[in-house]
Amino acid sequence: MRGWGALSPEEKTLVPEPDISHQEHRAYIRAVFENMDMPAAMKGPGLEKVFEGLYRAQSAWDEVMAENIRKRLEPTGNRMVVLAGSGHLMYNLGINRRASEKTGWPFKTVVCVEVPSDLSGLEVSRTLGDYIWGLTTEERPVYPSLSLSLKKFAGLDNPVVDRKPFEGAYEKAGFEKGDVILRVGNREFTEINSLRAYLAEFTWGDSVSFKVLREAEEKMLDVVFE
């Protein structure tokens, strides 16, 4: 967000300097940005600064992905399939372009477009990708959303709820900001990523109980993925 030059030498080994000079890519990301629903406070004098930060972040992500592709492809010469969000692929301007520029190798892009269930087809720009695949709009996500924000505190092993959920199964279960997670099901967790991986195993119709500490009192919260 503060520019590539603000990174430490160690961070620069992980994030190559992103290309932020490509005008077509910049125009595409700006078009997406200007169609986003943003709070009124973000639309003031600082709007251009917000966009620039977003664009640098988007470009940095593309650059890291492209570099990882180069590192894995160059020693072998094999083909590779890369799955990424369409915003990083459309019009062949994102990860695909940077990977090709780094390696000189050809690529093909498949972009998926949601087609409303009441329509037999949808007219789109042919230049979205080399191949365009229509998918029926899903009535719900394939898996429940992990909409529980967590953080860690120094000196405390247990994950802590960072903010009160505002939707979904976790909101219905009654989680509050500051809840200390003591146990999930019959397991205890000290690492947030391990807890997230465990929760990702649950699907629609499943349920799991959380034991939390809130204001010096233990509480049981039942999460039902409906």
Give the pLDDT confidence of 102-160 residue by residue, as tens digits: 889 899 999 999 998 888 888 999 999 999 999 888 777 788 877 889 999 999 999 99
End-to-end CA distance of the chain: 38
HSE-up of residue 156 (Cα within 13 Å, Cβ side): 14
pLDDT of residue 226: 86
HSE-up of residue 170 (Cα within 13 Å, Cβ side): 21
| Best CA proximity match to 111, nearest among 101, 123, 126 | 126
Q: Rounded distance, CA 220 to CA 89, Å?
A: 44
Q: Cβ(217)–Cβ(209) under 8 Å? A: no
Q: Rounded distance, CA 199 to CA 175, Å?
A: 15
pLDDT > 70 in the chain, percent: 96
Q: Confidence class of residue 22 from pLDDT cuts 50, 70 and 90?
A: very high
- Residue 212, judged by CB atoms within 10 A of its CB (0-12, 13-18, 19+), counts as buried
pLDDT of residue 38: 66
Predicted confidence (pLDDT) per residue in 38-62, tens digit: 666 666 677 888 888 889 999 999 9
pLDDT of residue 41: 61
Predicted confidence (pLDDT) per residue in 156-191, tens digit: 999 999 999 888 899 999 999 999 999 999 999 999
The class level of CATH for 150-224 reads: mainly beta
Q: Which part of the chain is CATH 2.30.42.10?
A: 150-224
Say whether pTM exceeds 0.85: no
Please give the distance of CA 32 from its chain centroid, rounded to a whole number: 16
pLDDT of residue 147: 80
Looking at the predicted structure, is the pLDDT value of residue 63 above 70? yes
- Residue 203, helix vs strand vs coil: coil
